[in-house]
Amino acid sequence: MLTGTAMCQNLSLAQLWLLLHCFIPAVGTVKVTVGTPSVQVTRGRSALLPCGFRTTAALNRLNIIWTVSPLVEPRHPLQVISYEQGQIVESLSEYLGRVGFAFQPSKDASIFINQTRSSDTGTYQCTVVNPPDGATPNIGLIGLTVLVPLSSPECSSKGQGQEGGSIRLLCSVREGVPAPTFTWEKIAPDSQMLIISQEDHHASVTLNNLTIETSGLYRCTVTNQLGSRTCALELHVQVGRAKYSRSLTEM
């Protein structure tokens, strides 16, 4: 009779491979898919962050964890919501009461966020753990951008504006995501586009060598993905001196 050692010595490599796989259970992996790299939503509306997963193991030890690295503080990630072995656990954070799983977590890890805020913008991470399945690839990343409508622009001017001198026309908005673009123009009867200097939510144009022909109505138009808004001011240049008036009426 052959001993166990002798039997192994007489088996081919193929036979040994089959023998091992008969007695060692196969271990799969958890695969997470998010379907899209980013989601955009207008502030105040609901956002759906998709996260699907596949696993071969039973679901009695399934854990799902959603975290976010906020745009304003990327080095301080927050836990958004989790699913721990059959229980949904909401985070005691600004997401409390606004976030939930879109479907049964044991089938799909997607979440929704209601009443979105500007601070919700960031990179979200969906992590699925389901032992004994392995851990790779079990993480999905998705970016969320909360779009913000433009606030009413404000037109103003800076400088004495004496004839022959210069004056600076200013235009700004307090809010707007994505960052807005600006245009300054002198409108009819002698319409012309003006060269501007823009920085973030501000734009300006400098008028040099003021003359009587510089007088007129000047309009600033601010535009982003959600629309456009305008403001205007009127400049009067007179011989020997200049005066200007500002209009805050949106056109």
The mean per-residue pLDDT over the stretch 74-80 comes to 91
Residue 234's CB: how many other CB atoms inside 10 A? 12
Bond into 153 cis (ω within 30)? no
pLDDT of 124 strictly over 90: yes
Check residue 242 and give its pLDDT.
45
Domain residue ranges in the chain? 27-147, 154-247
CATH homologous superfamily of 154-247 equals: Immunoglobulins (2.60.40.10)
**Does 154-247 match 27-147 at the fold level?**
yes
Question: Could you say which DSSP state residue 1 is in?
Answer: -
Q: What is the pTM of this model?
A: 0.77
- At 193, list the tokens: 């586009």
The mean per-residue pLDDT over the stretch 19-33 comes to 61
Check residue 167 and give its pLDDT.
92
CB 241 within 8 A of CB 228: no
pLDDT of 153 strictly over 60: yes
Report the percent of the chain where pLDDT is more than 90: 64
CA distance 91 to 120: 14
Residue type, 119: S
Classify burial at 207, counting beta carbons within 10 Å of its beta carbon; exposed 0-12, middle 13-18, buried 19 or more.
buried
Specify whether domain 27-147 bears CATH 1.10.3720.10: no
pLDDT of 248 strictly over 50: no
Predicted confidence band of residue 164 (pLDDT cuts 50, 70, 90): confident
Check residue 103 and give its pLDDT.
96
